[in-house]
Amino acid sequence: MPELKDPNDRRRRPGSSDVHHAKRRKNLALLFALLAFIVLVFFVTMIRMGG
């Protein structure tokens, strides 16, 4: 499980914690899944409309 970095660490930048990285990874996975779904629906529509 990702952990939050020390909030008092001066080198810490916004969005650089493990939690943020884990969240970003999930968002990217979701983006790819949605893009794949759009491509799938596009081709299915083309084939079905083409008879």
Partner 1 sequence: MSDTTLDRATETQEQLRDFVALLKPRVMSLVVFSGLAGLLVAPGSLHPFLAAVAVLCIAVAAGGAGAINMWYDRDIDAVMSRTRARPIVQGRVAPEEALAFGVVLSLFSVMVMGLALNWVAAGLLALANLFYVFVYTVWLKRRTPQNIVIGGAAGAFPPMIGWAAVTGSVSIESLLLFALIFFWTPPHFWALALYRSGDYARAGVPMLPVVAGEGATKRQILLYSLVLLPLAPAPALLGTAGIVYGATALVLGLLFLAGALAVLRAPSGADTDRAAKRLFAFSILYLFLLFALLIVDRGEGLIGGLGLA
For the bound state, the minimum distance from the C-beta of residue 47 to partner 1, rounded and expressed in Å, comes to: 5
Q: Find the length of the chain.
A: 51
- Closest distance of CB 24 from partner 1, Å: 10
> 10-49: which residues touch partner 1 (CB under 8 A)?
21, 25, 37, 40-41, 43-44, 47-48
> Which pair of structure tokens corresponds to residue 25?
């990874």
DSSP H/E element including 20: helix 18-49
Virtual CA dihedral for 44, 46, 47, 51, nearest 10 degrees? Answer: 130
Binding site for partner 1 (CB under 8 A): 1, 21, 25, 37, 40-41, 43-44, 47-48
